Structure 1
């Protein structure tokens, strides 16, 4: 179904006003896709280490 000109304009305006939110959503989606579809055990361990570092839990 075709999108109207006014809807495209409204979408572009929202995207411009909410750039950070949009980028965060895209990053989360890509991360999920990577973890579920492509990551091997080493990649999963690497991601878990990143999360632990961010949370201040360096395995102690």
Structure 2
């Protein structure tokens, strides 16, 4: 990920949820899943010249 600040913010949020609910909680697992999706989309869009929306449209047609 190019934006190191964003990555550290995500880690901080995950640590806070882990402390509050525990790593095995559904809240932590859901948050981890959502952030994983967001990071993947970010890396796909900003790490390359690919357009994620166009790639998804191509898969659906």
TM, length-normalised to structure 2? 0.37
Q: Which has the higher contact order (CA 8 A, sep 6+)?
A: 2
TM, length-normalised to structure 1? 0.38
Greater Rg over alpha carbons, structure: 1
